[in-house]
Amino acid sequence: MPHHAGSRLFAPLGMTGTRFWPGPEPAPPGAAPTDPSWPAPLSLGDGGVWSTAADLLRWSQALNADELGVSALLQTPGRLDDGTLLDYAWGIGVRSHAGHRVYRHGGGWAGLRALQARIPGLGLSLVVVAIADHTERRVDLAGSLLDEVTGRSGR
């Protein structure tokens, strides 16, 4: 998987700061310090991808432009057996903000938190990365940024 992702996804998109990191060191060279009690091999179950804010933004822009040919699939919300539409599509939250469809995904590891949001209809992408954010402030910040770019006020 690391070789395939690197050669088929990250390299073609110019994402030079993104990689799978199997360890044994707790973080890739140049990464922000993390908690040594969270060794890198523990992160492989949830993906194990380490990236930069710039590369996450590049990924988001590529999805907006469907450069990988998978955006329609990744943006299709799931359905329950009874037909109920979910607000979740292949690991991506599907929301609405000021009348626009928003796709977002967040995560974290050992004191690092990130949130990516896209509004393909506006060609907009944003990424928020925070060190030592043990709250949901990044979610509030992303919401405020979305308010700003969509003209929504009164949050």
Give residue 13's pLDDT. Answer: 97
SS3 for 50? strand
**Apex CA 30: angle with CA 130 and CA 55, to 5°?**
60
pLDDT in tens, 122-153: 999 999 988 876 667 888 889 999 999 998 87
Residue 41 confidence (pLDDT): 61
- Reported confidence tier of residue 99, pLDDT bands at 50, 70, 90: very high
Report the predicted TM-score, pTM, of the whole model to 2 decimal places. 0.85
DSSP string, 76-144: ---B-TT-PBPSEETTEEEEEETTEEEEEEEEEETTEEEEEEEEGGGTEEEEEEEES--SSHHHHHHHH
Q: pLDDT tens across 2-43, in order? A: 788 889 999 999 999 998 877 767 677 777 666 767 766 666
Split at pLDDT 50, 70, 90, the class of 121 is very high
Query: For residue 56, what pLDDT is reported?
Result: 95
Alpha-carbon span 109 to 150, nearest angstrom: 30
Which fold is adopted by the domain 2-150? Beta-lactamase (3.40.710)
Q: Tens digit of pLDDT for each residue in 35-77? A: 767 766 666 656 678 888 999 999 999 999 999 999 999 999 9
Phi-psi region of 116 (alpha: psi -120 to 50; beta: other; left: phi over 0): beta
pLDDT of residue 148: 93
